[in-house]
Amino acid sequence: MIKIKELVKIYNKGRANEFEALKGVSLEIADGEMVAIMGKSGAGKSTLLHVLACIDSYEGGEYYLNDVLIKDLSEKRLAQIRNENIGMVMQDFALVEDFTASENVIIPLSFAKNKVKDKKQKANAALSQVGIPDLINKDVNKLSGGQKQRVAIARAIVNEPSMILADEPTGALDSKTSDEIMDLFKSLNEDGRTVIIVTHDINIAQKCERIIEISDGLIV
Amino acid sequence: MIFRLGVKEFIRNIGLNLLIILQLAATLALSIFLTSTIEYRLAHYLPFKEELSSKGLYVLYRGFDYDHKPIDDKNKIISELEKIKEITATYTAPIIDKHSNSDDDIIYDITAYDEKIFTSFKPRLKSGKWLDKREDGDYLPAVISHNWSGIKTGDILALTGYNDKSEEVDVKVKIIGTLRDGAKVFSRNSHDAYDNYLDLYMNYNYEQELRTTLFVAVDDMEKFDLSYIISGKGFITFDDDITDEQSRSNMNKVDEYCSAYPLDEVNARSISHITYQLYLLLPIIIGVLMLVIVSTLSISAINTSKQMRNYAIYYMCGSQWSSTSLISLVNYLIVAGFSFVLSWTVIVGLSLLGMLEKTSLRFSIFPILACLVIIIIGLVTSVLTPHLIIRKTTPREIISTND
Ligand SMILES: Nc1ncnc2c1ncn2[C@@H]1O[C@H](COP(=O)(O)OP(=O)(O)O)[C@@H](O)[C@H]1O
Ligand SMILES: [Mg+2]
């Protein structure tokens, strides 16, 4: 459950190139929703997603994740939240290129606070779930874009986080592959996960239950 | 996880890492020799530091010469001097092998040491043990110089010496050790060197000496009733409360028997010699340290910037940004481990093959400490460098590459 109130994000605060990317955004996303955050390039979509993903801080307002105020938490605590509650999928896949598919999926398991047993089986199960059980031991640099994105999604779900945050996940894919990836997100959502997809593409946004439109750092 | 990723990172950059291993191993080897050199300088000063820094005389006794009266009893000199603390000396006597097969009898030289000398300075041996480890018995224990007569450790020689009344004395000599060729020994030769502590020693080289020397403890000479005379170098130390007047009169007296030089002058020259030597080594030491810092700095910087994107991915997946710098540490530890093993393997290997005998290399705790210091400097660099690099940027900036 995400709750943000009057969220303000200012880049380079106090410097000459200071820039207010989010100007007081408020929204709520319930567990199990599938939401698109839509807007033009430069609207502040990625900025919002990074704050939600606990990889960036914010200057004003409040962000509650599962009723925990995400503000002034320790690096350690934030790392744990990223590890346990959030799965991220990026436009450029963000895979370690010289790892195999399975090694990439194992990364979040390895950073888990409590030692995870059967890491390999868990990774293989996640890769099967995203439809590529046969690519487990392949180096990811030998995979196609669609396959890479499936590996990234497997990595995002392997720790069973409550929400998946995707930043332009189909931006680098052709339309057929895009549709397959969106179907995959849909099925993950049907299994009960919250899915939040940032996109500037209306066709992608329309595949979600709800569209939040953002422009110039404000919700419209 | 950090450990596994560090290992991966090492393998990923295996080519570069191998180069760094070679370079660090060479640096370690260099510092092993460097430390040995320093130790070597000190290893010849420290044994006689107490004597050299006392009030007294550095003396050169010539066994027989025309300018001086011979001495066969050090108590006789002591009785003529004032405020004497101690006389530390080297002695000599002839000893003959009458049973040899050659036409003439073989005459060996004996170098006998006061206990202070043979316990303070141990020459490098080819085999056996030095006089400080000798055992009492029916044989006169002796260490023999490197020789071409085929005499080796363990041999027992039936020789003939002389007692105070110049009568022949039969004595069985047991060879308990053999010097390496060219080994430094506390000198009893009569060349007129008195500049600094290094002149206390000579390299015993068979080709130069062309005679075989038996090194023994002077107490054993006494025990086997062999006579001897003072010969070579030694110290006469004075009591601390000696007056300048007494000191001068002692010196004049000693001058009748042998050449004497004030110890404080010899000591001052020794200290300045050591200081100068260390001073010469200083640029090399600084160079070695620079090399270590620059090379670890560059490998950590290269690794970190190459791995930055992966660090950002680990961060996204739940690692802490600051701890990703530890990956470079693991990488460095592997490099350092291999380098350490490599440098010591090569050095120990070469010395087992006998190829380092003419160098000042010594195996002791100090070269190991020097290696550790260098490795620790590298270690600090390898943690700080990535830390400084990743601090300048946030993982978010690396992750957000879209638009
Ligand atoms: N690190 C930054 N420093 C300064 N301005 C930034 C930074 N990152 C993004 N911005 C600005 O913030 C605005 C929103 O960026 P972003 O959230 O990436 O937009 P979107 O993802 O919607 O295209 C843009 O105008 C962008 O130039
Ligand atoms: Mg964006």
CATH number of A78's domain: 3.40.50.300
Return the structure tokens found at B387.
């830390």
- Rounded (5°) CA angle B92-B54-B269: 85
- Model confidence at B50: pLDDT above 90: no
Question: Six-digit token pair at B364?
Answer: 């002791």
Q: Which of B161-165, B171-175, B203-207, B278-282 is predicted with the least confidence, judged by mean pLDDT?
A: B203-207
Domain that holds residue A21: 2-219
Which chain A positions have a beta carbon within 8 Å of B4's beta carbon? 110
Taking 70 as the pLDDT cut, the residues of chain A under it are none
Q: What percent of chain B has pLDDT over 90?
A: 17
Render chain A in DSSP notation, one character per residue.
Answer: -EEEEEEEEEETTTSTT-EEEEEEEEEEE-TT-EEEEE--TTSSHHHHHHHHTTSS--SEEEEEETTEE-SS--HHHHHHHHHHHEEEE-TT----TTSBHHHHHHHHHHT-SSPPS-HHHHHHHHHHHTT-GGGTTSBGGGS-HHHHHHHHHHHHHTT--SEEEEESTTTTS-HHHHHHHHHHHHHHHHTT-EEEEEES-HHHHTTSSEEEEEETTEE-
Residues of chain A found within 8 Å of residue B320, distances taken between Cβ atoms: 75-76, 79
Establish whether residue B403 lines the binding site of ligand 1, counting it when its CB lies within 6 angstroms of any ligand atom: yes
Task: Please check whether residue B89 is in contact with residue B230, taking contact to mean a CB–CB distance below 8 angstroms.
Answer: yes
Cα of B301 vs centre of ligand 1, distance in Å, is 28
Residue that wins the pLDDT comparison between B195 and B333? B333
ipTM of the prediction: 0.94
Q: What is the pLDDT of residues A51-91, one digit of tens each?
A: 999 999 999 999 999 999 999 899 999 999 999 999 999 99
Q: Which residue of A50, A112, A159 is in closest CB contact with B396?
A: A50
pLDDT tier, B402 (very low <50, low <70, confident <90, very high otherwise): very low
CA of B340 to the centre of ligand 1 (A): 49
Residues of B in contact with A114 (CB under 8 A): none
CB B330 within 8 A of CB B5: yes
* Contact (CB, 8 A) for A172 and A92: yes
Question: What's the CA-to-centroid distance between A83 and ligand 2, angstroms?
Answer: 22
Q: Is ligand 1 within 6 A of the CB of residue A91?
A: no
Q: B63 falls in which pLDDT band (50, 70, 90)?
A: low
Given CB atoms, is A79 within the 8 Å cutoff of chain B?
yes
Mean pLDDT of chain A: 94
User: Would you state the pLDDT for residue B360?
Assistant: 67
- pLDDT at site B67: 60
pLDDT tens-digit readout, A94-107:
999 989 999 999 99
Output the residue whose Cα is nearest ligand 1's atom 11: A21
The total of structural domains in chain A comes to 1
Cα dist from A4 to A7, A29, A63, A69, A86, whole Å: 6, 9, 4, 10, 16
How far is the alpha carbon of B401 from chain A, nearest alpha carbon, in Å? Answer: 8
Nearest CA to ligand 1 atom 12: A21
- Given the DSSP bridges, would you call strands A86-89 and B84-88 parallel, antiparallel or unpaired? unpaired
| pLDDT confidence bin for B290, thresholds 50/70/90 | confident
Contact A83, A112 (CB under 8 A): yes
**Alpha carbon of B297: minimum distance to chain A alpha carbons (Å):** 24
Structure tokens at B175: 């060879």
Beta carbons of A88 and A156 less than 8 angstroms apart: yes
